[in-house]
Structure 1
Amino acid sequence: MTVFGFTLVLAAAFCHATWNFLVKRINGGPELVWLFSAVSVLIYIPIAGYIIITDRPHFGFWEILFVAGSIPLHLGYFLLLQTGYRKGDLSLVYPTARATGPFLSTTFAVLFLGENMTAQVALGAGAVIIGVVGLTGGIKSRAKNLTTSIGFGIGAGVLIGSYTIWDAYAVSVVLVSPILLDFVSNIGRTILLTPIALKRKERVAYYWREHRLDVVAVAVFSSLAYVLVLYALTFTPVVYVAPTREISVLLTVLMGSLLLGEGDLARRMKWALLILMGVALLATA
């Protein structure tokens, strides 16, 4: 993995952990996803417009297919993650999702994109999975939300693996612009969630009134985090990029335990460090 690619993914990990922490703190539902998706569209319109005017990207059948297919995968991920955050613990739901996601992404990359699976890649993936089992299974007697957190985390991880492979093919083979792919995905989420937002407009108004800065930050960082990953995927295989993103697990565990009072920091950090070791093996394979 090149230094530039690693830098992009590392920056994405910081952005990703930040917006996930903010979303958990706001504790919203689909109407919150609509709000920050709509705000993201407004923020990134100038950049998307500049790319369309200067690059004049081609949008034929395959480009439209992959852009359209990306929308429900990301929407499902956001909604599932939001529900998991409301019913579970951030520092359990998020690490489980972020560990399941790269394992499936790596597997899908080998099966569908023809990327190579080496012994080091397999060892790294195993370390990640063991880390997740330890991170969640060791506190069963004290965490009444354990099963719920794991369930939502695994579900989100399946969607992470699916949209990672789909979008990697879109930007590296079909050559869709990473910024335009994420921009259109935000437009799609906004449109699809508008009926819910209209029914819950009081909640939308509340989030904007009480959490405006957080909403804007989520809008900026959620898109930026993924655009950075997509750019890395244009010249770096999925088996390197997907696991390296999981550096954000350590950051999120720290945020959940220290800032949200979810506790059990010492135990969670030990297993999170094992996940990071697995990530390191995968990233340097």
Structure 2
Amino acid sequence: MSTTALLLVLAAAVCHAGWNVVAHGVSRLGTPFLWWGAVASTVLWLPVVPFTGGLGASVGGLAVGAGVSAVLHVVYMTVLQRGYKVGTLSTVYATARGSGPAVSAGLAVLLLGEQLSATAVVGIAVVVAGVVATGLIDRRPTGSPAPRLLHGPSTASTPGAPGPARRRLDPGIAWGLLTGLAIASYTIWDAHALRTWGLSPVSFMVGVTLVEVVFYSASLGRRRGELVAVARAHWPRVLAFGVLSPLSYILVLTAIRTAPVALVAPARETSVVMVAVFGALVLREGSLVKRLAASGVVLGGIALLAL
């Protein structure tokens, strides 16, 4: 992967980590926050379109590409928000970002005809292993007390529950895996759309968020009355989301126009390093030393991808 593509992906990782921290802090708000996030993303980035390639080579391709991608992104955001409600930030985020690039790399080879060197395959495997380890190293058995989060429901066991603690599948892992499948789906489709129709990353992203507004509007239902309250209480988060979420993916879309998706998808997971450290330092989610060790594995894999 070229130096330029790698720098774009690393910058995207910083933005992605930032908006995921924002999203976790308001995970209980659900659709009203997602609606505002889509509106803010559209309004803030629409004026940039004329200066970044306009609508691209095919208006029809833009409509189809953005429309399908919006559906996949809505599924992704809905599953991710659900995961943040039932699991810790680090577990959900790391599991999703670990499984997503693994599936994306496989699909890129099968569907997009991309080819990978032996070093790249090893790098992808190392990144995925490190990312998954980051989310799993601090798992606790069911029935043991969990650290208190700043936001979100308690994961502690029910008082008086009989029997010794038993391990079971962390719901955060299950939802993280579903999120990873959603990530792979929109990653492969978006790469196909941009390459096939010669689309501009900015106009494509704006098209996606515009369609998302329609979807979220239809799903608000009785919660429409919460929109004003959410805006008043969380407008700084809405603005941060509106800037960082599209920017992170615009950078990725720019990178996959010239670099293989199979390499870009794992490389952007350096964001897990940042989220893992935030989770340990601020949310008190597990051991900082263990998370840094697992993050080091991720960085080692990134180094292999850069060769």
Same fold (TM over 0.5): yes
Matched residue type, 1:109: A
- TM value normalised by structure 1: 0.91
Of 221-230 and 192-201, deviating more is: 192-201
Displacement of 1:127 in angstroms is 1.9
Alignment correspondent of 2:206: 183
Matches within 5 A, 1:144-163: 147-163=170-186
Mapped to 2, the partners of 1:135 and 1:15 lie a distance apart of 19
Alignment correspondent of 1:83: 82
Matches within 5 A, 1:58-97: 58-60=58-60, 62-97=61-96
SS at match of 2:140: coil
Mapped to 1, the partners of 2:246 and 2:131 lie a distance apart of 26
Matched residue type, 1:247: T
Alignment correspondent of 2:161: none
1:284 matched to 2:285? The reply is no
Displacement of 1:186 in angstroms is 0.4
Displacement of 1:82 in angstroms is 0.8
Matches within 5 A, 1:105-144: 105-138=104-137, 139-141=139-141
- TM value normalised by structure 2: 0.85
Q: Is the 8 A contact 1:197 1:204 kept in 2?
A: no
Matched residue type, 1:9: V
Matched residue type, 1:224: L
1:98-129: per-residue Cα shift (whole Å, max 9, x none)? 11111111111111111112222222232233
Question: Are the structure 2 counterparts of residues 19 and 56 from structure 1 closer, same or farther at C-alpha, using a change threshold of 3 Å?
Answer: closer
Displacement of 1:56 in angstroms is 6.5
Mapped to 1, the partners of 2:56 and 2:4 lie a distance apart of 26
Mapped to 2, the partners of 1:147 and 1:132 lie a distance apart of 16
Of 247-256 and 264-273, deviating more is: 264-273
Q: Is the 8 A contact 2:93 2:135 kept in 1?
A: no
**5+ long unaligned stretches in structure 2:** 147-154, 157-168
Matches within 5 A, 1:110-259: 110-138=109-137, 139-141=139-141, 147-259=170-282
1:108-163: per-residue Cα shift (whole Å, max 9, x none)? 11111111122222222322333345334442335659611111111111111111
SS at match of 1:200: helix
Matched residue type, 1:238: V
SS at match of 2:170: helix
Higher helix share: 1
Mapped to 1, the partners of 2:185 and 2:111 lie a distance apart of 11
Alignment correspondent of 1:29: 30
Of 126-135 and 240-249, deviating more is: 126-135
Alignment correspondent of 1:6: 6
Question: Are the structure 2 counterparts of residues 51 and 14 from structure 1 closer, same or farther at C-alpha, using a change threshold of 3 Å?
Answer: closer
Of 136-145 and 76-85, deviating more is: 136-145
Mapped to 2, the partners of 1:55 and 1:136 lie a distance apart of 39
Alignment correspondent of 1:269: 292
Work out which of the two has the higher radius of gyration on C-alpha atoms and give 1 or 2.
2
**5+ long unaligned stretches in structure 1:** none
Question: Are the structure 2 counterparts of residues 197 and 103 from structure 1 closer, same or farther at C-alpha, using a change threshold of 3 Å?
Answer: same
Displacement of 1:50 in angstroms is 5.0
1:77-103: per-residue Cα shift (whole Å, max 9, x none)? 111111111111111111111111111
Q: Is the 8 A contact 1:25 1:260 kept in 2?
A: no
SS at match of 2:286: coil
Q: Percent identity between the aligned chains?
A: 34
Displacement of 1:23 in angstroms is 0.9
Matched residue type, 2:283: L
Number of residue pairs matched? 282
Mapped to 2, the partners of 1:128 and 1:166 lie a distance apart of 22
Mapped to 1, the partners of 2:20 and 2:45 lie a distance apart of 20
